[in-house]
Amino acid sequence: MLNPQQKAAVEKTDQPLLVLAGAGCGKTRVITEKMAHLVNHNYCSTDRLYAITFTNKAAKEMKQRAMKMVQNGELLNISTFHSLGLRMMQQEITSSEYQRGFSILDTSECQKVIQALLPKGIKKELSNQLQWQISGWKNAALYPEQVDSSVPMAVEIYQQYLDYMVSINAMDFDDLILQPLWLLNRSEAVRNKWQQQIGYLMVDEYQDTNTSQYQLVKMLMGHGKHLTCVGDDDQSIYGWRGAQIENLQLLQKDFPSLAVIKLEQNYRSSSTILNAANAVIQHNPHPFEKKIWSDLGQGETIKITAYNSAEDEAQQLVTDISFQKRVNLKSYSDFAILYRSNHQAKLLEQELRINNLPYQMSGGRSFFDYSEIKDLMAYIRLLSNPKDNSAFLRCINTPKRGIGMQTVQQISQIAKRNGKCFFEACAQTQLLGDLSPAAQAKIKNFVAMIKTHQSMKSSAEHIVESLVKQTDYINWVNLSANNKVAKINKVKLVRDFLKWIQAISSKQFLAMDELMNYLSLQSNQDDEVAEDSIKMMTLHAAKGLEFEHVYLVGVEEGILPHANSLADSDDENDAVEEERRLMYVGITRAMRQLNISYVKKRKKRYQDDPNEGVFGPSRFLDEIPMELTSGYHSQDLSEEEQKQSNKKNFAALKAMLGD
């Protein structure tokens, strides 16, 4: 049941291939069908077939689909870039600067490292900017000596940061791509091994690759032809985190025999929606021309509505969803509310709560963001990697054991003076002579507890349970909570974490370092979505999803396109093009009905809001042909007329429902 273009993409195996897959054109199906084709026709064995995508959720879904089509499908190597990089570093650790059991630090922990490397007195905002800059250099695959910076100190800190991470045997998430790339660059033996190990490589969401990721793909392939990249230049919306749309053209340059196949038949949306999307995106330059189309019928016109205030926008939207739900017997999960920035969700969320409509917000606080989970993760990291100074600093006085900041500073000085990590310095009692007897005793007890658990031969599950019990962590969390509700929630978090580790361990025996790396990668995993609820999310979070009815709100100058994105960009045209691609992503999420709204005058979010005075309909609305829309420029009601219209809508709905 593949269309001719999909079939050609599946069967093309004799040269490198770029599949330009328009929104809703069945790219995941092509990827999984091609996996089955490669294995079932003996082009590649299952264990030598690799596929890379960008989220754990996408990788999991892809593997589930592929396993139904491929014998021994569990051997398929389907993962994120970061998971592949982790696997490579674990297998090639002896060829690298690192040692077994390295830690993976999260963003907040890396921020502390950078802050510690900077001269005293540097504001936190500046250290945040430097952290972002270092991440950008890593995404661009730059060594410190290759960096062209007007601030020499920044380059020096970059080098110190790299050296420090090696010294504590730790990596950040950027390193999971960069370090394997650098390793392949300098070791011909490792490079040859991996190029022979990968029989065929498929890359999903190729338009989102940054320079480091693309170079890793190129290095793994060598000059081979066993490569398929699938992507859509019109959905490249991650330039702010290093994605390079230019990688599409680089692929042609670096693989001269590259074939290009376009998937343009959309299986998701009506013709009206697709014609609007095509009309908007055609204002961007294209290295490859394509135009998505559908045979699902013309469908409803796109409703574009102007509101006098954000409050009116939220009220009318919720009224409309309630009406659709009751009258047309829709499920709540058929509806999605999309917005450019998270701050736009507040009024919408309040209105949904007032009307008791179930909703699910994507991008909320992660399970791994809670301090209790971070505490336990730090203990797991320290048990696995005693050189992890960041984990040591979090654990040493958690729960409180009377070891203050002054003592920690002394430990740091002792460690530095003797060329030791913090834990090693504490483990050698002869080095602690400058500390008070009381401090020495407390440190000795802490070290003994960690060493006892490091030497345990049990599974990671039992070691963590033992540690929580010996530290009396649950009781400490209970006592340190501010109120009864907080106590219940915090204790539940800890117990849920232990249950989760138990569930992971029940599938296979895990050593502590295996558990540590598994949890580090899972901390970035996508949130599960409740079944029957209205979905609320940013346009960035919506990519790859589809909904019967989409409400695209706040489509205003200063919001979409976003004023900050335009102001922060070195090239305003590039910024506008990426914002236009966001608009395209929003439009193409809709299957049957698309409602777009904007507010004529929006209140300031805060005193110095740069968006004040730049509202009004987005320029992108003028790029949608008028014949595809209804309501645009005919909804300029006065404030009183708008209120009366809202009242009538509420009254009609209540009367219909018998309220």
pLDDT at residue number 249: 85
Give the SS3 label for residue 377.
helix
Instruction: State the average pLDDT over residues 455-478.
Output: 92
Catalytic hit among 204, 320, 375, 556:
204
**Tens digit of pLDDT for each residue in 494-551?**
998 898 888 778 777 778 888 888 777 765 544 444 568 999 999 999 998 999 999 9
β-partners of residue 558 are 562
Q: What is the largest CA-CA distance in the chain?
A: 83
The verdict on whether 27 is a catalytic residue reads yes
Residues near 201 by beta carbon (within 8 Å), at least 6 away in sequence: 50, 51, 52, 217, 220, 221, 226, 227, 228
pLDDT at residue number 363: 63
pLDDT at residue number 632: 66
The verdict on whether 204 is a catalytic residue reads yes
Q: Distance between CA atoms of 358 and 349, rounded to whole angstroms?
A: 10
Work out the pLDDT band at 607, boundaries 50, 70, 90.
very low
Q: Distance between CA atoms of 16 and 13, rounded to whole angstroms?
A: 8
Instruction: State the average pLDDT over residues 570-590.
Output: 91
Dihedral of the CA atoms 365, 370, 376, 379 (nearest 10)? 100
Q: H or E element: which one contains 191?
A: helix 188-197
Residues near 534 by beta carbon (within 8 Å), at least 6 away in sequence: 321, 332, 333, 335, 336, 337, 352, 357, 358, 359, 360
The region, left, alpha or beta by phi > 0 then psi within -120 to 50, assigned to residue 169 is left
Classify burial at 349, counting beta carbons within 10 Å of its beta carbon; exposed 0-12, middle 13-18, buried 19 or more. Answer: middle
The verdict on whether 120 is a catalytic residue reads no
Instruction: State the average pLDDT over residues 447-466.
Output: 92
Output the DSSP codes for 219-261. Answer: HHHTT-S-EEEEE-GGG---GGGTB-TTHHHHHHHHSTT-EEE
115-124, 128-137, 155-164, 485-494: least confident range: 115-124
Catalytic hit among 235, 316, 344, 593:
235
User: Per-residue pLDDT for 655 more than 60?
Assistant: no
Q: State the residue for tokens 């009004």.
A: 616
Annotation-wise, does 28 bind a ligand? yes
Catalytic hit among 92, 172, 205, 351:
205
**Tens digit of pLDDT for each residue in 214-273?**
999 999 998 788 999 999 989 888 887 777 888 888 898 999 999 999 999 999 999 999
Closest CA to 95 of 218, 216, 198, 188: 188
Kindly give the interhelix angle for 310-327 and 345-354, rounded to the nearest 10 degrees.
Answer: 50
pLDDT at residue number 125: 77
Work out the pLDDT band at 489, boundaries 50, 70, 90.
confident
pLDDT at residue number 171: 92
Annotation-wise, does 23 bind a ligand? yes
302-358+531-657 domain in CATH 3.90.50.10? no
Annotation-wise, does 25 bind a ligand? yes
pLDDT at residue number 567: 77
Kindly give the interhelix angle for 107-117 and 152-167, rounded to the nearest 10 degrees.
Answer: 120
Annotation-wise, does 22 bind a ligand? yes
Q: Distance between CA atoms of 24 and 7, rounded to whole angstroms?
A: 16
Instruction: State the average pLDDT over residues 92-111.
Output: 87
User: Per-residue pLDDT for 623 more than 80?
Assistant: yes
Q: Distance between CA atoms of 115 and 124, rounded to whole angstroms?
A: 7
Residues near 26 by beta carbon (within 8 Å), at least 6 away in sequence: 3, 6, 263, 265, 267
Parse the chain into domains and list their residue ranges. 4-88+178-263, 103-168, 302-358+531-657, 371-525
* Lookup: tokens for 50: 């690799």
Give the SS3 label for residue 559.
strand
pLDDT at residue number 302: 96
β-partners of residue 590 are 547
Q: H or E element: which one contains 302?
A: strand 302-307
Backbone angles phi, psi at 174, to 5 degrees: -65, -35
Instruction: State the average pLDDT over residues 108-122.
Output: 83
Q: What percent of the chain has pLDDT over 70?
A: 91
Backbone angles phi, psi at 309, to 5 degrees: -150, 160
- The most confident of the ranges 204-218, 243-257, 413-427 is 204-218
Annotation-wise, does 297 bind a ligand? no
Closest CA to 340 of 588, 636, 563: 563
Q: How far is CA 377 from CA 369, 448, 457, 512, in A?
A: 11, 19, 20, 11
pLDDT at residue number 614: 46
Distance of CA 472 to the CA centre of its chain: 34
Instruction: State the average pLDDT over residues 320-331.
Output: 88
Residue 95 carries which DSSP code? Answer: G
CATH of domain 103-168: 1.10.10
- The dihedral sign for the CA sequence 441, 445, 447, 448: positive
Q: Distance between CA atoms of 175 and 172, rounded to whole angstroms?
A: 5
pLDDT at residue number 636: 47
**Tens digit of pLDDT for each residue in 43-98?**
999 999 999 998 888 899 999 999 999 888 889 999 999 999 999 999 999 999 99
The region, left, alpha or beta by phi > 0 then psi within -120 to 50, assigned to residue 96 is beta
| The CATH classification of domain 4-88+178-263, taken from the options 3.50.50.60, 3.40.50.300, 3.10.310.30, 3.40.1360.10 | 3.40.50.300
Round to the nearest angstrom and report the end-to-end CA distance of the chain. Answer: 49
Dihedral of the CA atoms 215, 221, 227, 228 (nearest 10)? -10
133-137, 492-496, 634-638: least confident range: 634-638
Residues near 21 by beta carbon (within 8 Å), at least 6 away in sequence: 27, 30, 230, 231, 232, 263
Residue 365: how many CB atoms within 10 A of its CB? 9
β-partners of residue 596 are 304, 552
Annotation-wise, does 554 bind a ligand? no
The verdict on whether 28 is a catalytic residue reads yes
Work out the pLDDT band at 177, boundaries 50, 70, 90.
very high
Catalytic hit among 11, 13, 28, 487:
28
* Lookup: tokens for 200: 């065929």
Q: H or E element: which one contains 49?
A: strand 49-53
Work out the pLDDT band at 653, boundaries 50, 70, 90.
very low
Q: State the residue for tokens 């892809």.
A: 62
Same topology between domain 4-88+178-263 and domain 103-168: no
pLDDT at residue number 526: 43
pLDDT at residue number 604: 58
Annotation-wise, does 616 bind a ligand? no
Instruction: Kindly give the pairing relationship between strand 302-307 and strand 227-231.
Output: unpaired
pTM value surpassing 0.85:
no
Q: Distance between CA atoms of 117 and 164, rounded to whole angstroms?
A: 9
Q: State the residue for tokens 């921020």.
A: 111
The verdict on whether 235 is a catalytic residue reads yes
Output the DSSP codes for 494-524. Answer: HHHHHHHHHHHHHHS---HHHHHHHHHHHTT
| The CATH classification of domain 371-525, taken from the options 1.10.486.10, 1.10.260.40, 1.20.1050.90, 3.40.50.880 | 1.10.486.10
Work out the pLDDT band at 116, boundaries 50, 70, 90.
confident
pLDDT at residue number 50: 96
The verdict on whether 305 is a catalytic residue reads no
Instruction: State the average pLDDT over residues 384-411.
Output: 88
CA atoms within 13 A on the CB side of 220: 29
Q: Distance between CA atoms of 102 and 513, rounded to whole angstroms?
A: 8
Catalytic hit among 589, 592, 600, 602:
589
Instruction: Kindly give the pairing relationship between strand 547-552 and strand 170-171.
Output: unpaired
Catalytic hit among 6, 27, 172, 394:
27
**Tens digit of pLDDT for each residue in 339-378?**
998 888 888 988 998 888 988 888 656 677 788 989 999 9
